[in-house]
């Protein structure tokens, strides 16, 4: 049995303008065999939730490095979780979540309470890859056709809904 | 730092320029007024020729004042000072007896829609800021370029209106930095000059154009010479100075590596003839730097500036500027853009749509996104694909940059300084 490709939605947070993290994550995830939609920087909660409903990604990866991530990602995750259709979708958060140089794990309780599935440190890329591989292995094959129908953004610079 | 009364930021820089000094400035910002004040006092009193900085937080930048208010109320740490959230009187008392003729202060932000920030500055009496229709748009989010251009037109008009002959408002272009890394210097210079022309068109009386240290000092010196020549040719008779930024991309992880990179930027500032240097601290790759980190950085930069000035006086330049036709490339792009429309705002918008300006690896939807750059074996930052830019250069079919290649290019400078630092220890 061949595993179907995962559709991963990569997004920045509402106040975070950094894009190199997003570009890097997209390339790394694509090279690992996933389809990626990159929502870009400064994503308002409304655009994120609307995109989740429209594209029904298998996993949401939230990346933030500007130091507001612990608040912004919690708010964004809660907004996404508000819709029961996303109950089962893993939400993985990482980057540089605070401003004090302390571990992201310090923010895990608050982020988990808001609906985040896993909080990773900035060097935890291998762990992200492992988590996605597990999600992929567990994904129901029946969803394959639905997922194949959602076109992942081409060429790595499509900002969904940006215009 | 000393300046005659009533001259503001612009007057202060004119004085230091006359005295042959390089002004050193931090990138500092804290949410709490007491911390912000302590930082400004410490920078003023540092052993260096300094001006102050108030760096604003990201919520204020994107206009999400609700989140800024919530953070202030709940005492959540922010990545900068929420200028539009603290009551004006709080900011006035934060500044009292610090901000004044002897110690000008610049507000640095990163807002594509800066109206609320400029208004707060006007109310409080702050006269210097940073920005630009392109450079505060493309690197800073998803605001459409067209909106950023009209918002920055209005902001420039407002700065002109706020100005008096004794106290002209000052605006610095962020065009010499853009995404912080991987933008070939000719394009950085072109964007900075075009933004300078845009500011001048709107009557901003005092201007600075930036350039950020890149991957190779010889190339940086060529870029600074090109920038200076273009200022003389295209902005003659105006109050314009050059500001160098210490490296703005991925920073070294070691203290020694970070310090050596800072030192190199101070040498580039002196030998490239910059009037002002904005520094980074040893904490850059880790967290928001505190007051002590900032003071250490400005003082270290000052020492290296003085050393370099002695080297220059002794006729011992550490590098010879490269001669790669950087001026010609920048000039070609500037001329191509200016020929599109007499109004620079309109011209810039058309230029990005047609790809006559196109910043490598920029995700912003109002750009073509066809250009690519790379670090050459000798350390120069060069074009890998010139897209639709009006210049000669490679236009290969195919080749996409992979994750591994991107990381190694982004870490080129950090790795170079971390490895030599480790060798020294
Ligand atoms: C380049 C840069 C910029 C550029 C960004 C341009 C752009 N469009 O991207 C410019 C100059 C515009 C900029 C602006 C600002 N920046 Co900045 N920036 C940097 C810098 C120097 C490098 C970042 C970079 O390109 N890294 C390369 C990418 C590939 O790596 P990365 O971002 O670290 O991401 C990696 C990991 O974190 C991890 N990762 C990321 N997300 C995720 C998610 C998961 C799930 C996992 C597992 C891993 C993971 O994987 C990535 C690859 O290894 C860093 C400092 C540094 N690192 O040296 C500061 C830095 C990130 N910036 C910072 C700040 C605060 C800002 C500003 C708010 C200005 C300010 N107050 O100083 C503004 C942002 C405005 C806004 N609205 O957000 C701070 C954040 C502080 C903190 N968190 O404690 C830093 C750390 C600098 C500092 N010490 O102050 N910045």
Residue to substitute in B59, B60, B71, B110 for testing ligand 1 pocket (most ligand atoms within 8 angstroms of CB): B110
Other beta carbons within 10 Å of B277: 27
pLDDT of amino acid A160: 47
pLDDT of amino acid B421: 74
pLDDT digits (tens, 9 = 90+) for B149-167: 999 999 999 999 999 999 9
Cα gap B378→A93, rounded to integer Å: 38
Our count of domains for chain A comes to 1
Share of chain A residues as helix, strand and coil, in percent rounded to the nearest 5: 45, 15, 40
pLDDT digits (tens, 9 = 90+) for B71-108: 999 999 999 999 999 999 999 999 999 999 889 999 99
Which residues does residue B56 pair with via DSSP β-bridges, in sequence order? B81
- Write down the domain spans for chain B: 8-313
Residue A61 belongs to a domain: yes
Residue A83 belongs to a domain: yes
CA distance, residue B330 to nearest chain A CA (Å): 25
Q: Token pair 């999600």 is at which residue?
A: A135
Cα gap B211→B168, rounded to integer Å: 23
pLDDT of amino acid A148: 42
pLDDT of amino acid B425: 43
The answer to whether residue A40 neighbours chain B at the CB level (below 8 Å) is yes
Residue A51 belongs to a domain: yes
What's the start-to-end Cα distance of chain A, in Å?
Answer: 40
Residue A73 belongs to a domain: yes
**Residues 65-84, chain B: which have Cβ within 8 Å of A?**
67, 71, 76-79
pLDDT of amino acid A140: 75
pLDDT of amino acid B313: 96
Which residues does residue A93 pair with via DSSP β-bridges, in sequence order? A62, A119
Contact A159 B361 (CB under 8 A): no
**Residues 47-66, chain A: which have Cβ within 8 Å of B?**
66
- Domain boundaries, position A15: 7-124
Quick one: average pLDDT of B176-196?
98
Contact A15 B110 (CB under 8 A): no
Q: Token pair 């748009």 is at which residue?
A: B137
Q: Confirm if B83 and B60 have CB atoms less than 8 A apart.
A: yes
Residue to substitute in B288, B406, B416 for testing ligand 1 pocket (most ligand atoms within 8 angstroms of CB): B288
pLDDT of amino acid B424: 52
Quick one: average pLDDT of B109-115?
98
Residue A12 belongs to a domain: yes
The CATH number given to whatever domain includes residue A92 is 3.40.50.280
pLDDT of amino acid A4: 85
Q: Confirm if B356 and B216 have CB atoms less than 8 A apart.
A: no
Quick one: pLDDT band at residue B2, thresholds 50, 70, 90? very low
Which residue's CA lies nearest to atom 3 of ligand 1?
B180
pLDDT digits (tens, 9 = 90+) for B320-367: 999 999 999 999 999 999 999 999 999 999 999 999 999 999 999 999
Identify the CA nearest to B371 among candidates B348, B396, B340: B396
Residue A116 belongs to a domain: yes
**What is the share, in percent, of chain B residues with pLDDT greater than 70?**
98
Grouping H, G, I as helix, E, B as strand and the rest as coil, residue B133 is coil
Grouping H, G, I as helix, E, B as strand and the rest as coil, residue B206 is strand
Residue A52 belongs to a domain: yes
Contact B361 A23 (CB under 8 A): yes
pLDDT digits (tens, 9 = 90+) for B359-389: 999 999 999 999 999 999 999 999 999 999 9
Cβ partners under 8 Å of residue B165, min gap 6: none
Cα gap B180→B187, rounded to integer Å: 13
CATH fold for the domain made of B8-313: TIM Barrel (3.20.20)
For residue B161, report the distance from its CA to the centre of ligand 1, in Å: 35
Contact B406 A27 (CB under 8 A): yes
Quick one: pLDDT band at residue B6, thresholds 50, 70, 90? low
Cα gap A48→A28, rounded to integer Å: 22
For the entire predicted model, the pTM comes to: 0.96
Residue A134 belongs to a domain: no
Other beta carbons within 10 Å of B186: 28
Other beta carbons within 10 Å of B335: 12
Q: Is the pLDDT reported for residue B3 higher than 70? A: no
| Phi, psi for residue A33 in degrees, rounded to 5 | 95, 20
Quick one: pLDDT band at residue B178, thresholds 50, 70, 90? very high
pLDDT of amino acid A1: 60
Residues with CB under 6 A from ligand 1: A 15-21, 24-25, 61, 63, 65-67, 92, 94-96, 99, 120, 122, 124-125, 128; B 27, 29, 55, 58, 61-62, 79-80, 110, 139-140, 177, 179-181, 248-251, 283-285, 287-288, 410
Q: What is the pLDDT along chain A (163 residues), one digit of tens a residue?
A: 678 899 999 999 999 999 999 999 999 999 999 999 999 999 999 999 999 999 999 999 999 999 999 999 999 999 999 999 999 999 999 999 999 999 999 999 999 999 999 999 999 999 999 999 999 999 876 444 444 434 444 334 445 444 3
- Which residues of chain B does A67 touch, with a Cβ-Cβ cutoff of 8 Å? 58, 77-79, 287-288
- DSSP for residue B56: B
Cα gap A5→A32, rounded to integer Å: 10
Quick one: average pLDDT of B16-44?
97
What's the start-to-end Cα distance of chain B, in Å?
Answer: 35
């Amino acid at each position: 049995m061949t595993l179907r490709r995962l559709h991963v939605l990569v997004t920045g947070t509402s106040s975070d303008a950094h894009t190199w993290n997003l570009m890097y994550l997209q390339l790394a995830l694509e090279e690992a065999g996933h389809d990626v939609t990159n929502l870009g920087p400064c994503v308002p909660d409304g655009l994120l939730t609307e995109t989740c409903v429209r594209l029904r990604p298998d996993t949401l990866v939230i990346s933030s490095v500007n130091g507001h991530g612990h608040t912004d990602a919690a708010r964004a995750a809660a907004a996404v979780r508000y819709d029961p259709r996303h109950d089962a979708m893993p939400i993985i958060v990482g980057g540089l979540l605070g401003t004090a140089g302390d571990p992201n794990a310090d923010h895990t309780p608050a982020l988990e309470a808001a609906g985040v599935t896993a909080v990773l440190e900035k060097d935890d890329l291998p762990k992200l890859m492992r988590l996605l591989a597990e999600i992929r292995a567990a994904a129901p094959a029946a969803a394959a056709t639905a997922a194949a129908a959602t076109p992942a953004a081409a060429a790595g610079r499509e900002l969904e809904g940006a215009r | 730092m000393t300046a005659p009364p009533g001259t503001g930021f612009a007057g202060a820089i004119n004085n230091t320029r006359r005295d042959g000094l390089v002004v050193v400035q931090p990138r500092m910002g804290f949410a709490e007024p007491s911390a912000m004040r302590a930082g400004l006092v410490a920078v003023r009193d540092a052993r260096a020729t300094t001006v102050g900085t108030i760096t604003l937080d990201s919520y204020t930048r994107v206009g999400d004042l609700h989140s800024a208010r919530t953070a202030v109320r709940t005492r959540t740490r922010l990545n900068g000072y929420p200028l539009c959230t603290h009551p004006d009187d709080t900011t006035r008392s934060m500044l009292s007896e610090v901000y004044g003729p002897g110690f000008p202060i610049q507000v640095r932000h990163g807002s594509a829609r800066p109206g609320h920030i400029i208004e707060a500055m006007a109310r409080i009496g702050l006269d210097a800021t940073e920005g630009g229709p392109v450079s505060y748009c493309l690197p800073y989010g998803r605001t459409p370029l067209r909106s950023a251009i009209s918002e920055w037109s209005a902001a420039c008009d407002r700065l002109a209106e706020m100005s008096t002959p004794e106290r002209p408002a000052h605006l610095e272009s962020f065009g010499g930095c853009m995404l912080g890394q991987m933008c070939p210097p000719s394009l950085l210079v072109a964007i900075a000059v075009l933004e300078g022309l845009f500011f001048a068109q709107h009557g901003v009386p005092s201007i600075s154009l930036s350039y950020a240290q890149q991957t190779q000092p010889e190339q940086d010196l060529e870029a600074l010479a090109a920038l200076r020549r273009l200022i003389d040719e295209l902005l003659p008779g105006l109050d314009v100075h050059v500001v160098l930024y210490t490296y703005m991309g991925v920073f070294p992880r070691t203290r020694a590596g970070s310090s050596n990179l800072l030192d190199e930027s101070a040498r580039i500032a002196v030998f490239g003839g910059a009037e002002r240097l904005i520094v980074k601290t040893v904490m850059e790759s880790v967290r928001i730097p505190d007051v002590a980190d900032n003071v250490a950085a400005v003082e270290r930069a000052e020492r290296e500036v003085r050393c370099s000035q002695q080297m220059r006086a002794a006729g011992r330049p550490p590098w010879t500027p490269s001669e790669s036709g950087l001026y010609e490339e920048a000039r070609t792009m500037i001329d191509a853009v200016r020929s599109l429309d007499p109004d620079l705002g309109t011209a810039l918008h058309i230029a990005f749509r047609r790809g006559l300006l196109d910043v490598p690896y920029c995700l912003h939807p109002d750009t073509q996104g066809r250009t690519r750059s790379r670090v050459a074996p000798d350390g120069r930052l060069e074009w890998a694909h010139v897209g639709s830019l009006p210049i000669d250069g490679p236009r290969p079919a195919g080749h996409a940059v992979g994750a591994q290649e991107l990381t190694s290019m982004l870490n080129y400078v950090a790795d170079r300084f971390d490895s030599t630092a480790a060798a020294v220890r």
